Structure 1
Amino acid sequence: MNNEPMLELSGIVRRFEQGGTVLDVLRGAELTVRAGELVALVGPSGAGKSTLLQIAGLLEKPTTGTVRIAGTDVSDLDDGKRTEVRRRSIGFVYQFHHLLPEFSARENVVLPQMIAGVSKSIAKQRADELLRMVGLDARGSHRPARLSGGEQQRVAIARALANAPSLLIADEPTGNLDPHTAENVFAMLTAIVRQARVGALVATHNLELARRMDRVLEMRDGVLVEHAAAPEAAVPEEA
């Protein structure tokens, strides 16, 4: 079975300077996410989870350290190359779906493919396939306003997978959903990660979901600490 690393972070340091004060948010974080694996990222607000996700998603550069996506060192790429890697190899899902309201569900999944240079006909076929995977093949012509919250988030997941990425980065993907809907979206996300062999890094405050992922990493004092199960102490919800 292909179990290669989709994301590798080595010795990640992120330092900010404000008014002569130096703040080390990340102090040598280490992380590997493999194909078909879901890794939960937990920790209180302000611990550095968002900074780590930004670095993993090539939206921000570390002060020092190495970032590899699907085995390729992307640490020193210029902005143009980083954008190419994001477009080709990384999918993003956020707490709020950020779908384009003037376009249908299908069009929201087609657009990132066309931006990446895929023909419209092939992009439509891929979009229909992904919408079937998330159980929305009958809702493809509907705009986001006509979809429920859970349906909108499922479209967002389909869009994140549109360009067949190696890595999926999800920031509170069920945080804006009621418990029942969150459960359904998480189950669907898990099934797709397994099927597509994507590596998934999922930041969450939902410890119930975190415990059901393959591994749980807690951000603590700028480094990542692995738990056999989620930490016993509850992680506070963000205000």
Structure 2
Amino acid sequence: MSEAAMLELSGVVRVFEQAGTRLEVLRGAALAVRPGELVGLVGPSGAGKSTLLHIAGLLERPDGGSVRIGGTDAARLDDDKRTALRRRCIGFVYQFHHLLPEFSALENIVLPQMVAGVTRGQAAVRAGELLAAVGLAARAGHRPARLSGGEQQRVAIARALANRPGLLIADEPTGNLDPHTAEAVFGLLTDLVRRERVGALVATHNLDLAKRMDRVLELRDGVLVEHR
């Protein structure tokens, strides 16, 4: 029996009104992502991938359909409870790392844990373990300006997993990196998803990397279809 999905979207609709024109970006999108599964999301620019990720990550509400995170129906929650669910269950990685420049690599991973109520000591242990997992134990005390682009993105991935989320949302996580560095970062991301048993939804324009994921979905005319 397969494990319960960490993310379930069903019949998701998102409509924008622009200058009197009704634009249906999502028209019944549906997907499921299970623990330890890496699902790629592809589609042309403007297709609505970022909108879909925002809805999946509880950053935006759909106009219709349901979003379930770890079995919890987010539509039934008020804003405070949605925020709490997002912080507890979802990690985010973006194209640009968004690390805090005045803090070290270790501190960038410690801070979100302390916000979640973890003690500094416990957070530092977890941060050290994650930095070792991404090959940056020796760089723990370095601020982002002293790290390469690939190293910064590896720290960002470690930070996203710091609070042991069940779901990882990644928007072009290798899009700002050269091909060799992108390959290395993708390999680390895959290893961590498997090891931490995280369900990952990864939007990318890199079809070579996408083909190495467990499944690839294409956003086409507002619905998700298997990419071939």
Query: TM (normalized to structure 2)?
Result: 0.98
Other structure's SS at 1:184 match: helix
Of the structure 1 ranges 2-11 and 124-133, higher mean CA displacement relative to structure 2 is found in 2-11
Other structure's SS at 1:165 match: coil
> Unpaired segments of 5 or more residues in structure 1?
232-239
Tell me the equivalent position of 2:27. 27
Task: Give the whole-Å Cα distance in 1 for the aligned partners of 2:165 and 2:51.
Answer: 21
After TM superposition, give the deviation of residue 2 of structure 1 in Å.
6.7
After TM superposition, give the deviation of residue 74 of structure 1 in Å.
1.1
Task: Give the whole-Å Cα distance in 1 for the aligned partners of 2:71 and 2:198.
Answer: 14
Per-residue CA distance 1:90-145 (angstroms, 9 max, x = gap)? 00000000000000000000000011111111111111111111111111000001
Tell me the equivalent position of 1:134. 134
Per-residue CA distance 1:182-219 (angstroms, 9 max, x = gap)? 00000000000001100000000000000000001000
Tell me the equivalent position of 2:16. 16
Q: Which amino acid aligns with 1:195?
A: R
Per-residue CA distance 1:32-76 (angstroms, 9 max, x = gap)? 001100000000011010100000000000001110111111123
Task: Give the whole-Å Cα distance in 1 for the aligned partners of 2:154 and 2:119.
Answer: 23
Task: Give the whole-Å Cα distance in 1 for the aligned partners of 2:136 and 2:75.
Answer: 37
Q: Which amino acid aligns with 1:198?
A: V
- Aligned pairs for 1:1-239 (under 5 A) are 3-227=3-227, 231=228
Q: Which amino acid aligns with 2:107?
A: E
Task: Give the whole-Å Cα distance in 1 for the aligned partners of 2:18 and 2:218.
Answer: 26
Q: Which amino acid aligns with 1:88?
A: R
Task: Give the whole-Å Cα distance in 1 for the aligned partners of 2:107 and 2:2.
Answer: 32
Other structure's SS at 2:6 match: strand
Q: Which amino acid aligns with 1:216?
A: V
Task: Give the whole-Å Cα distance in 2 for the aligned partners of 1:187 and 1:47.
Answer: 27
Task: Give the whole-Å Cα distance in 2 for the aligned partners of 1:13 and 1:154.
Answer: 33
Task: Give the whole-Å Cα distance in 2 for the aligned partners of 1:134 and 1:44.
Answer: 31
Q: Which amino acid aligns with 1:112?
A: P
Aligned positions, number: 228
Task: Give the whole-Å Cα distance in 2 for the aligned partners of 1:27 and 1:4.
Answer: 25
Identity of aligned residues (%): 76
Of the structure 1 ranges 76-85 and 206-215, higher mean CA displacement relative to structure 2 is found in 76-85
Tell me the equivalent position of 1:237. none
Task: Give the whole-Å Cα distance in 1 for the aligned partners of 2:2 and 2:89.
Answer: 17
Report runs of 4+ in structure 1 exceeding 4 Å deviation.
Answer: none
Task: Give the whole-Å Cα distance in 2 for the aligned partners of 1:23 and 1:149.
Answer: 36
Tell me the equivalent position of 1:234. none
Task: Give the whole-Å Cα distance in 1 for the aligned partners of 2:172 and 2:76.
Answer: 28
Other structure's SS at 1:175 match: coil
Q: Which amino acid aligns with 2:88?
A: R
Task: Give the whole-Å Cα distance in 1 for the aligned partners of 2:208 and 2:23.
Answer: 32
